[in-house]
A and B are shown apart, each in its own frame.
Chain A
Amino acid sequence: MLKSNPQKLTEALAARFASPTRSSRLTVVVGRWLGISFTICFLTGLFSHGLQNPPSWMFFPTSPSWIYQLTQGLHVTAGIAAIPLLLAKLWSVYPELLKWPPVKSLVHGLERASIALFIGSSLVQLTTGLINTYKWYPWPFPFRETHYWLAWVIWGSLLLHVAVKLPVIASHWRARSTEEVAGGAADGGVPGVEKSSGAASPGRWSRRAFLTGVAAATGTVVLTTAGQSFSWLAPLNFFAPRKMGTGPQGVPVNRTAAAANVTELANSAGWSLQVRHGATSREFSLAQLKALPQHTHELPIACVEGWSQTAAWRGVRVRDLVNAVGAPAGSTLRFTSLEPEGAYRLMTMAPEYARDEKTLVALELNGSVLDLDHGYPARIIAPGRPGVLQTKWLQSMEVL
């Protein structure tokens, strides 16, 4: 008999799925946590994108030197925290999926379509974002471009969702909201569930206990992974793809010399760094670079994948090389790597970094000659830049 009436069927199903933990108040609380995570991810992601593909108005902070370490560490950590939060948020509104009729009007249909897009893109964004940090790419689309455009879709959907649900959000913003929440049922609450206001019947979960459980699960995945980005959490780093202090000279490696196909060129005895400024061109052999004034700075290398590592870098100041070819201090530079190919073979450096005293053509790392996998014979290290722009195996520097 139920089959002849889909509405009764879905209402029965929704009732089966109803629980004190599936209430509008719970959804609002988890939604706030998730909204904060998504917003951190969106803003730090835009910053990272701007550093790599700078629009004309882009600002390039070089101080504090750990700024990118912080923003990208937050990006990846907030993304990891968002995984249990998204699951909890979607769990709390699951009966909504079973509402009948599925589409009541054009506006209602559009709203449901926007929710489907929001959920689908959020699930894909978090899954691919996490797996990308494992250097595993099992999807048929380019990660970086998709991640960037989906971020706009998701954050736009978030604002639209808040606009649509604003009355429900407002009425459940505080814990003891008035009983006139009855209207909330029409806006997405589960009928009959509001009255329980989080109290638990025997064996069931109360709303507060559910929130505590979600917070515990979120806190656990954050604490056991964030040590790849934040050194004070390194002892708890059990489930992150990277560990601090690993790799040659105690610094992790993303792209090896072998993978970049530069081993022979980098080891060549005849290697020299070409420095060009208009018609002026100078070549610096490794011995000549070592004869220039050397400077040591503690700087983090921070990858887009969230891991980072602070190390002691020693080498020649880039601004001294700019000076050596008679170029003005506020010049924009272009560096070329020995890599025969690769997306980061060419790197443009804004004047903010070029004139910073901490920006080095590094020859040594943590007290010994740069390892081949860290960019021997010479690499760039600049404060506050994504790791992919810390060009390894330098070939030339050009003043633009």
Chain B
Amino acid sequence: MKASDSVRVARAVLGAVGVSLLGYGLLGLPTQLGPSQLIGLLTWMAVAVLIHDGVIVPLSTLAGAGLTRAGSTLQPVSAAVLRGTLLTGAVVTLVAAILVKAQSVARGTTVLEADYAASLVWFLAVLAIASAAAIFALERRASLPGRIRR
């Protein structure tokens, strides 16, 4: 059997199994969800895609373009540290923001007991200081005499 044949077979098998499992899930949903719940689920899916594709990605792309300008005077490695810091900070902020919101509505006795807002502030402060120190050190090392370019 040629390599291209085995790829074709693999694709066919994966595709067939995938469609079966997908179909099983789609057919299973209406057995346990009523019409209004299914509409609710579809609405949540549509809104999730709209928020993601219409807000999160365009905004992060804009932020990236801004960083490209701001970071063009930095060493590539410093610019990467800056972006990695912002990405990490954004993801942790997202998680912590949902936690803080949940705290105002959730029920239960030993759930959500920590002060997440304070944890977030501390986390962001440590992250900012660590990455600022790293960028400063990287830029300084690059600007030392003997280097070709600052």
Contact = CB atoms under 8 A, between A and B. Distances in A.
Instruction: Among A84, A154, A205, A210, find the residue whose CB has the most chain B CB atoms closer than 10 A.
Output: A205
B17 interface: yes
B49 A119 contact: yes
- Size category of the B interface is 35 or more
B28 A157 contact: no
Contact of A156 (B22, B52, B92): B22
Contacts of B69: 203
Nearest to A140: B40
A373 B109 contact: yes
A292 interface: no
B45 interface: yes
Most buried by A among B61, B76, B123: B76
Interface in A181-224: 200, 202-206, 209-210, 212-214, 216-218, 220-221, 224
Interface stretch (A242-250, A274-282, A391-399): A242-250
A36 interface: no
A213 to B, nearest CB: 4
Given A119-B49, A155-B21, A205 B79 contact: yes
B80 interface: yes
Contacts of B80: 200, 205-206, 209, 212-213
Given A158-B18, A160-B14, A256 B71 contact: no
B7 A167 contact: yes
A131 B22 contact: no
Interface in A134-169: 134-136, 138-142, 145-146, 148-164, 166-167
A252 B18 contact: no
A43 interface: no
A220 B91 CA distance: 9
B15 to A, nearest CB: 4
Nearest to B96: A239
Contacts of A128: 44
A202 B69 CA distance: 9
Interface string B1-42: 000000100111111011111111110110011001110110
Interface in B63-113: 64, 67-74, 76-77, 79-80, 83-84, 87-88, 90-92, 94-96, 98-99, 101-102, 105-113
Contacts of B120: 239
A103 interface: no
A139 B78 CA distance: 42
B41 A124 contact: yes
Interface string A57-96: 0000000000000000000000010011001001100100
A241 B116 CA distance: 9
Given A213-B84, A220-B91, A238-B119, A97 B53 contact: yes
A17 interface: yes
Interface size band for A: 35 or more
B56 interface: yes
A121 interface: yes
A159 B76 contact: no
B143 interface: no
B45 A141 contact: no
B88 A213 contact: yes
Contacts of A120: 45-46, 48-49
B28 A149 contact: yes
Given A91-B60, A166-B14, 18 more contacts: A94-B57, A94-B61, A120-B49, A124-B41, A124-B44, A128-B44, A135-B107, A152-B24, A203-B73, A203-B79, A212-B84, A216-B84, A225-B95, A239-B92, A241-B99, A241-B112, A243-B114, A254-B108
27 contacts: A17-B61, A83-B95, A87-B52, A91-B60, A114-B22, A124-B45, A128-B44, A135-B108, A136-B101, A136-B106, A140-B37, A140-B40, A152-B22, A158-B18, A159-B17, A160-B18, A163-B15, A203-B71, A209-B80, A238-B114, A238-B116, A238-B119, A239-B120, A242-B111, A243-B113, A254-B108, A259-B107
Interface of B: 7, 10-15, 17-26, 28-29, 32-33, 36-38, 40-41, 43-46, 48-49, 52-53, 56-57, 60-61, 64, 67-74, 76-77, 79-80, 83-84, 87-88, 90-92, 94-96, 98-99, 101-102, 105-114, 116, 119-120, 123
